[in-house]
């Protein structure tokens, strides 16, 4: 097991069968921590300005991400801060939505949890930095070919010839 400076833990594949996906399990644990933190802020009845200080970096090119183009501005990742000026924070299983201000312009954004590469809680000195492993793609379906080739039926062309052609 190695632990890089960026906090990404890389576990080797299981020597038994290769089916123990430790990287995904750890990433799912990280996701659950982030979901619980954001869910707590979204449902806190005493959530006053500045109570939470979440800094979140996420990948721009991610399925389900909804961000106005003018906010992205040719970046590959985007950083948002949930502290003083965020509104209508809603948390679902796979995404969270929030209204923020970018250069004094209001924007509603939707962020898939799996797009997050860094989460920091500035008030509690807690930080996670990782990348969710890409989804495994299914192997292409292979059409099985029978062991023995099929025997072709031989058709005589005589049945299709005109009767007058036989004399020629």
Q: What is the pLDDT of residue 133?
A: 80
Q: Please report which confidence band the pLDDT of residue 156 belongs to, taking 50, 70 and 90 as the band edges.
A: low
In the chain, the percentage of residues whose pLDDT exceeds 70 is 69
Go through 150-159 and write b for each residue having 16 or more CB atoms within 10 A of its CB, e for each that does not. Answer: eeeeeeeeee
Q: pTM, whole model, 2 decimals?
A: 0.68
Q: What is the pLDDT of residue 164?
A: 63
What's the CA gap between 78 and 59, in Å, rounded?
A: 7
What's the mean pLDDT in 146-151? 48
- Which of the two residues, 148 and 107, has the higher pLDDT score? 107
Q: What mean pLDDT comes out for the span 127-149?
A: 59
Q: Does domain 2-162 have CATH number 3.40.30.10?
A: no
> CA 9 to CA 28: how far, in whole Å?
13
Q: Are 97 and 108 in contact (CB under 8 A)?
A: yes
Top-ranked range on mean pLDDT: pick from 14-18, 24-28, 70-74 = 24-28
The average pLDDT across 106-110 equals 93
pLDDT the model gives residue 120: 96
State how far the Cα of 31 lies from the Cα of 117, in Å rounded to an integer.
Answer: 10
């Amino acid at each position: 097991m190695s632990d890089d400076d960026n906090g990404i833990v890389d576990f080797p594949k299981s020597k038994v069968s290769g089916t123990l996906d430790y990287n995904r399990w750890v990433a799912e644990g990280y996701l659950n921590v982030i979901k619980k933190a954001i869910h707590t802020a979204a449902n806190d009845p005493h959530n006053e300005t500045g109570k939470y200080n979440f800094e979140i970096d996420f990948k721009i090119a991610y399925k389900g991400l909804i961000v106005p183009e003018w906010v992205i501005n040719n970046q590959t990742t985007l950083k948002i801060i949930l502290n003083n000026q965020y509104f209508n924070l809603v948390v679902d299983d796979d995404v969270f939505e929030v209204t923020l201000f970018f250069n004094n312009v209001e924007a509603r954004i939707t962020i898939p949890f799996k797009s997050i590469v860094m989460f920091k809680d500035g008030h509690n000195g807690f930080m996670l930095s990782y990348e969710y492993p890409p989804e495994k793609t299914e192997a292409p379906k292979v059409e099985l070919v029978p062991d023995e080739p099929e025997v072709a039926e031989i058709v005589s062309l005589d049945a299709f010839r005109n009767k007058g052609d036989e004399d020629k």
